[in-house]
Structure 1
């Protein structure tokens, strides 16, 4: 059985243009792990080596023009350099690289929600429902009854139609877009907005499904990705300069640079902000440590999952633009689990937070496998979740922004 048989993709709609997608960048270029990592991690320029990686089945091979290069080493990913002039920023790509159109200047930003003593909406319940509640035929779980199946969903980046198609394919929603998964447990791994055509629509769908799933005895929850931090920062701080070890920049400029869509910012409302601001940074489900970013930066925010989530929430509630920016910068790191020492990085996280395997989004699978550029110009080949780092890590970002796939998988993935 091939990965395509186990993870068949829906007839994916094409809801908007997909310009060739670089990795997230800060004002001075693409951001991976630190240039001088701690001793023992052995990162190098190309991050080559896979530590036992495979797509679901050890002996399955992708087509030659899409697969890993002989010997298990990936091609060096060529990345653009960034130049700044005043308040404008642009990425200068390598020759032959198609660049996305420049976003129009932003003159107004929606205000952040006023600070009140009221608790924000819970992640499980989402926003108030304005229409008649849906009648759910599902029975509530009996005491001691086993939980429902567990699903994870990779980065969406505003591609609402693709998300709806994938959810229907997985039988998690019905034809009308309502929860149809009973007591199933669903986790989105973050990055709802930017690059695609309808980030706010994605957020509202997830909030709706959270309410409907709770009424059905299941749940639909979500992690905070680095693009949630960036989007909220652009709304709150705009062009206010921020200082960090990456240099002086602004949230708004970085948001535009990383695919921010003005119509999403225009439609951002206080209940969206309250919900996004309370998303957890990490979670543990059935022995799976769920993260957005493939980085060890979480260790800098606490020694337990609760400490990390509280630290991020406190930072967003009380700290200033520089601290917020530094949090975004840290969670924009990637590729910590690649290379021969990648399993050591995974073990460090698992040792601190529990579980036996990390499941993450953030880094598109074509970049992890070195299959970004096909010689014939074909889209990247992404047959399903990508297991690597001696089978300790599962990557779930199928690269929907670069003609890949929006991935949904039931855990455990073997």
Structure 2
């Protein structure tokens, strides 16, 4: 390569990341936006050009010659706020921190027979918990979101449930903190003429769906959240219902406003459930954990957020870490709980007792 050309290309890369993104043929979408009541439009990036389609009878069909982007049926039921506590659930699968790694997610779920070979729900009446952080870092965030949206519908139809919990990166993106967004999404933001966070705003289908979700849930005798529950929660005498309500109410609130309110600052930052990493510190003790478990009347807590090489049990499996580094785009694991048995579901489809 000519030396001058190489230097020019280097300068272009350093000065304008979007210029490089434009040089790659891009397919992305749909972004379903409701600009006015009863008027819903789907926006698509097809061969790096913007196209739109009208939505008829809740069906979202992609334009011709627009790759293999998802076609979906919208559902108002999915945007209803669901309970945060469940009992007598016979089987649960949990995983975390996908960060836009759609291909790894699909392979893991297929190999563990959570979905079938066509990518459809195959877990029957079981519950699936994704403990946050679909957004940021990876290049297939929108694909993961629409897949989870469809899986949510399929699970309910089968008598099961998908719980998509809010992680710190969902809070960051929906609050306008875009530091970790993959460069690929500059294309859609520019063509649709919306900042990336507004592609998931309160006037969008995925945005409304996400804003209906809980941040912490209890299934049987297990508590699930992204980061962890600290002892500070107990001193504040918080309940799941109150915390989940505050999270939904303030998901798009400016960081400055959140920081100025003592309770909101705790919930959204620091030792709050979406950021806390205390279980992995040398200072944290089992007696402190037992006090937290007793407060919620549970036997264990399942968290993501703090990356591991595998699904990992701590404190005699009273804490289970399910962030198995899917974000690296190479492999991952999930946790299966059935008949009180704890099992690691490995990427190759095999299983091991935790």
Q: Normalising by structure 1, what TM-score?
A: 0.53
Q: CA–CA distance in 1 between the matches of 2:205 and 2:297?
A: 33
Q: CA–CA distance in 1 between the matches of 2:16 and 2:212?
A: 29
- 1:316 matched residue in structure 2: 251
Per-residue CA deviation, residues 339-374 of structure 1 (Å, 9 max, x unaligned), is: 253424433432333311010000001xxxxxxxxx
C-alpha deviation, 1:323, in angstroms = 3.5
| Cα distance, 1:158–1:229 mapped onto 2, change above 3 Å | same
C-alpha deviation, 1:209, in angstroms = 0.3
- 2:133 matched residue in structure 1: 191
SS at match of 2:145: helix
The answer to whether the aligner puts 1:230 opposite 2:175 as a matched pair is no
The answer to whether the aligner puts 1:397 opposite 2:323 as a matched pair is yes
C-alpha deviation, 1:180, in angstroms = 1.7
Q: CA–CA distance in 1 between the matches of 2:34 and 2:15?
A: 29
- 2:297 matched residue in structure 1: 354
Q: Unmatched 5+ residue regions in structure 2?
A: 1-13, 20-30, 38-56, 61-70, 74-86, 190-195, 260-264, 343-353
Match of 2:111 among 151, 155, 169: 169
| Cα distance, 1:232–1:105 mapped onto 2, change above 3 Å | farther
C-alpha deviation, 1:157, in angstroms = 0.4
Match of 2:124 among 165, 178, 182: 182
| Cα distance, 1:364–1:345 mapped onto 2, change above 3 Å | farther
The correspondence of residues 111-260 of structure 1 with structure 2, limited to 5 A, is 130=60, 147-234=89-176, 251=177, 255-256=178-179, 258-260=180-182
The answer to whether the aligner puts 1:407 opposite 2:333 as a matched pair is yes
Q: CA–CA distance in 2 between the matches of 1:115 and 1:387?
A: 49
SS at match of 1:187: strand
C-alpha deviation, 1:113, in angstroms = 7.7
The answer to whether the aligner puts 1:305 opposite 2:240 as a matched pair is yes
RMSD: 3.5
| Cα distance, 1:167–1:403 mapped onto 2, change above 3 Å | closer
Q: CA–CA distance in 2 between the matches of 1:103 and 1:315?
A: 34
| Cα distance, 1:159–1:410 mapped onto 2, change above 3 Å | same
| Cα distance, 1:112–1:216 mapped onto 2, change above 3 Å | closer
Q: Normalising by structure 2, what TM-score?
A: 0.61
Q: Which has the higher contact order (CA 8 A, sep 6+)?
A: 1
Match of 1:294 among 204, 221, 228: 228
Q: CA–CA distance in 2 between the matches of 1:172 and 1:271?
A: 25
More helix by share: 2
| Cα distance, 1:399–1:132 mapped onto 2, change above 3 Å | closer
Question: Is the CA contact 1:153–1:187 (under 8 Å) kept in the aligned structure 2?
Answer: yes
Q: Unmatched 5+ residue regions in structure 1?
A: 1-100, 117-126, 134-144, 235-250, 366-381
Q: CA–CA distance in 1 between the matches of 2:171 and 2:34?
A: 15
SS at match of 1:337: helix
Question: Is the CA contact 1:356–1:392 (under 8 Å) kept in the aligned structure 2?
Answer: yes
Q: CA–CA distance in 1 between the matches of 2:165 and 2:114?
A: 18
Match of 2:279 among 337, 346, 353: 337
Query: What is the number of residues matched between the two proteins?
Result: 252
| Cα distance, 1:277–1:262 mapped onto 2, change above 3 Å | farther
C-alpha deviation, 1:112, in angstroms = 9.5
More strand by share: 2
The answer to whether the aligner puts 1:263 opposite 2:185 as a matched pair is yes
The correspondence of residues 62-141 of structure 1 with structure 2, limited to 5 A, is 104=17, 130=60
| Cα distance, 1:128–1:320 mapped onto 2, change above 3 Å | same
Question: Is the CA contact 1:179–1:212 (under 8 Å) kept in the aligned structure 2?
Answer: yes
Question: Is the CA contact 1:316–1:324 (under 8 Å) kept in the aligned structure 2?
Answer: no
